[in-house]
C-alpha cells in the first residue's frame, strides 16, 4: 500500500496532508541550505532521520497505551527524545484519548494520522511530535488541517488548541513564568496564526497540488502471503 494515500474501501484513495504539503509547498530556507551542505549524502541522512523519528513515535505511542519501555532496546539518542516526552507527561499530566489516530475525510478529500489527542487542564489539545532540529510553519499548517478534519467529524468536541511537541528544542528548563509548556530540550510550540488561517493556507497549497496531480493514483504492490522454494 502506498503510504502517501489512505483509503476506506480499497478503491477511492485520498492524499495525506503531509504529502500535499511536501509536494505543494516550498521547502524552508534552512532545510534547503542543509540539503546543499550535505550534497550527495543528503538523501541518506534524511532517511536515517526519518527512521529515527519513526522509532521515537512508535515508542511514544507504546508509552501512551501503557507499555513499559527499556533503555537497552533503543539507541541513546532515541532514548533521550523518549525521556523528554515522558518528562512532558509527568509535568503536565495530559489525559490521552487517542494516539496514532488515522483520519479520512472524503468531503475534504484528505487524510492523515494524528500523533495524539489529549486533555490538558480541561482543554482538548491536538499535538504533533517533531524530533528534528527545527519547527517550521508547515508543521503548523499540517496541524491546522488535522484540526479541521477532527472538528468536521466531531462538532460536539472540537479541538481547543494545537501545538508541536518539539523534543530537540534549545530550552534549558521549565518556563519560570509558567507561560509555556517546556523543559530541558523540549517544548510545546504553538502557532502565532489562528487555526482557521492555517486551514486557509493549507487549502491554497491543496489547490496547487490538485492542479499538479489531476489524476493521481496510489501505488499498490501485490505480493504473495507465503513463499516456498
Which residues form the domain of 190?
A: 5-212
What is the C-alpha to C-alpha distance for residues 78 and 62, in angstroms, rounded to an integer? Answer: 14
Residue of 42, 33, 29, 48 whose CA lies nearest to 138: 29
Counting the structural domains of the chain, the total is 1
User: DSSP letter string over 79-117?
Assistant: HHHHHHHHHHHHHH--EEEEEEEEEEETTTTEEEEEEEE
**pTM greater than the 0.95 cutoff:** no
Classify residue 224: in a domain, yes or no.
no
Name residues of the chain where pLDDT drops below 50. Answer: none
Classify residue 105: in a domain, yes or no.
yes
What is the C-alpha to C-alpha distance for residues 30 and 104, in angstroms, rounded to an integer? Answer: 32
Classify residue 30: in a domain, yes or no.
yes
- CATH number for the domain spanning 74: value is 3.40.1350.10
Distances (CA, A) of 25 to 138, 170, 209: 8, 26, 9
Classify residue 229: in a domain, yes or no.
no
Q: What are phi and psi of 125, to 5 degrees?
A: -105, 140
Q: Are the beta carbons of 101 and 111 closer than 8 angstroms?
A: no
What is the C-alpha to C-alpha distance for residues 77 and 56, in angstroms, rounded to an integer? Answer: 10
Classify residue 97: in a domain, yes or no.
yes
To the nearest 10°, report the CA torsion of 116, 58, 168, 139.
-50
What is the C-alpha to C-alpha distance for residues 129 and 63, in angstroms, rounded to an integer? Answer: 14
Classify residue 205: in a domain, yes or no.
yes
Distance of CA 215 to the CA centre of its chain: 26
What is the C-alpha to C-alpha distance for residues 151 and 153, in angstroms, rounded to an integer? Answer: 5
pLDDT, residue 205, reads 96
CA-based angle 60:196:128, to the nearest 5?
10
Classify residue 79: in a domain, yes or no.
yes
Classify residue 219: in a domain, yes or no.
no
Counted residue by residue, the chain has a size of 229
Amino acid at each position: 500500500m502506498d503510504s502517501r494515500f489512505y483509503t476506506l474501501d480499497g478503491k477511492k484513495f485520498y492524499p495525506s496532508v503531509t504529502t500535499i504539503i511536501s509536494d505543494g509547498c516550498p521547502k524552508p530556507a534552512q532545510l534547503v541550505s542543509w540539503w546543499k551542505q550535505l550534497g550527495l549524502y543528503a538523501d541518506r541522512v534524511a532517511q536515517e532521520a526519518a527512521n529515527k523519528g519513526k522509532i521515537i513515535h512508535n515508542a511514544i505511542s507504546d508509552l501512551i497505551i501503557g507499555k513499559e519501555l527499556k533503555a537497552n532496546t533503543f539507541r541513546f539518542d532515541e532514548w533521550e527524545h523518549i525521556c523528554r516526552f515522558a518528562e512532558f507527561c509527568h509535568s503536565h499530566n495530559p489525559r490521552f484519548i487517542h494516539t496514532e489516530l488515522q483520519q479520512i475525510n472524503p468531503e475534504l478529500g484528505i487524510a492523515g494520522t494524528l500523533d495524539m489527542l489529549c486533555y490538558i487542564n480541561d482543554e482538548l489539545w491536538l499535538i504533533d511530535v517533531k524530533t528534528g532540529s527545527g519547527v517550521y510553519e508547515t508543521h503548523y499548517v499540517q496541524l491546522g488541517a488535522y484540526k479541521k478534519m477532527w472538528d468536521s467529524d466531531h462538532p460536539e468536541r472540537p479541538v481547543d488548541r494545537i501545538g508541536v511537541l518539539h523534543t530537540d528544542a534549545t530550552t534549558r528548563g521549565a518556563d519560570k513564568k509558567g507561560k509555556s509548556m517546556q523543559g530541558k530540550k523540549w517544548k510545546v510550540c504553538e502557532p502565532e496564526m489562528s487555526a482557521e488561517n492555517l486551514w486557509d493556507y493549507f487549502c491554497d497549497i491543496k489547490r496547487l497540488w490538485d492542479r499538479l496531480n489531476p489524476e493521481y493514483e496510489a501505488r499498490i504492490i501485490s505480493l504473495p502471503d507465503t513463499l516456498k522454494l
